[in-house]
Amino acid sequence: MSCIFVGQINNCVMEKTIKSIGVLTSGGDSSGMNAAIRAVVRTSIFNDLKVFGIRHGYHGLIYDMIKEMKSRDVAAIIQRGGTILKTARSTEFKTEEGMKKAYDNCVKHNIDALVIIGGDGSFKGATEFGNRYNIPMVGLPGTIDNDLFGTDATIGYDTALNTIVEAVDKIRDTASSHDRMFFVEVMGRDAGFLALRAGLACGAEAILIPEIDTDLTHFTSYLEDGNKRKKSSNIILVAEGEKEGGAFEVVKKLSPYLDGYDVRISILGHIQRGGSPSAYDRVIATKMGVEAVQSLIRGEYGVMIGIKNEEIVHVPIEKAIKLHKNVDLQEVDMINILNV
Ligand code: F6P
């Protein structure tokens, strides 16, 4: 079975038969990408569509690292972190020449539509390419940062959050045993979702995130207060994108006020990106992957598949990129309330 769809790109109505889909992962890897690839491949095959795996993201589209995938190619990958298709951040794809080469390879393999699994940088590339060459695209939000507008969760965020919680719990043991103060820096690029939720889940004493202008002088009164209350351990979660420049900078600036505290800094780094995906990430990746293909079949494209209140939703890709996703300020207040 092949499908006729009528859709709109840049206000012009297109009619095209989809016979084959290309799938790629782009940007930083995140746990659950493999579950999404599996869902895209098998849903395509189920619908008698050819499906091509494109290795190394847009770089592989430019340099023809493209291979047809069969159902067995995605066997036993749902539990694996990373991405079997590999990923990259391609600067060449931003050029006219790069996009032209990528388009030529789509034509060469008769790829009619693309599923892009990645973050906002990957979607920017997709939008530009799709508009220029009229290639229908659907995006799946794959990033640990959870910073895409229109979806409650991105693929990999839950796993990364659980990894952080496990690590911070361990750090807390040492912090309590030695009466220490730890500044723990977590990823998230310029978003504070990981730091905020990890702060709630680990009972952090404070968080520093890019979305909130933390006044370090206010923070010093917290330190004095904490000393008075004889807190034996302190965990301060620092989002890597917060305005002071990360955990080392924060500690440097606070050093005059840290007398009497035994301070340590811990940067969690790339352990946050890998590992077997949580059940939640596997489930949303699977649902989103199935819906991506069904959406293309129906002729709905130029959208990111997201999840809102447990329902699968379609968000115009341009909106997902342009609009800012805000952290929940009530959650920030809760951290303060619970630190009495
Ligand atoms: O976007 C995912 C992310 O892990 C960010 O949280 C982080 O800032 C960045 O990627 C790190 O990128 P790289 O793996 O290139 O160092």
- Is the pLDDT score of 98 beyond 90? yes
Per-residue pLDDT, 4: 41
Per-residue pLDDT, 13: 36
pLDDT digit string, tens, across residues 266-291 = 999 999 999 999 999 999 999 999 99
pLDDT digit string, tens, across residues 222-253 = 777 766 667 789 999 999 999 999 999 999 99
**Rounded distance, CA 29 to CA 18, Å?**
28
Are 112 and 137 in contact by the 8 Å Cβ rule? The answer is no
Answer positive or negative: Cα dihedral of 318, 52, 284, 268.
negative
Nearest CA to ligand 1 atom 1: 28
Per-residue pLDDT, 132: 94
> Which CA distances in Å does 3 have to 44, 297, 335?
12, 6, 51
Q: Does the beta carbon of 145 lie inside 6 Å of ligand 1?
A: yes
The atom number, within ligand 1, closest to the CA of 30 reads 2
Q: Is 145 designated active site? A: yes
- Is the pLDDT score of 9 beyond 70? no
- Is the pLDDT score of 3 beyond 50? no
273 CA to middle of ligand 1, Å?
A: 8
Which single residue is written with the structure tokens 């790339």?
270
Per-residue pLDDT, 69: 98
Q: Does the beta carbon of 188 lie inside 6 Å of ligand 1?
A: yes
Per-residue pLDDT, 6: 39
Q: Does the beta carbon of 83 lie inside 6 Å of ligand 1?
A: no
pLDDT digit string, tens, across residues 121-173 = 999 999 999 889 999 999 999 999 999 999 999 999 999 999 999 999 999 99
Of 112, 120, 145, 147, which residue is the catalytic one? 145
Are 192 and 327 in contact by the 8 Å Cβ rule? The answer is yes
Region 194-210 average pLDDT: 97
pLDDT digit string, tens, across residues 299-333 = 999 999 999 999 999 999 999 999 999 999 999 99
Per-residue pLDDT, 227: 65
Q: Does the beta carbon of 143 lie inside 6 Å of ligand 1?
A: yes
Per-residue pLDDT, 311: 97
Region 22-47 average pLDDT: 98
180 CA to middle of ligand 1, Å?
A: 29
Q: Does the beta carbon of 187 lie inside 6 Å of ligand 1?
A: yes
Phi, psi of 24 (to 5 degrees): -145, 155
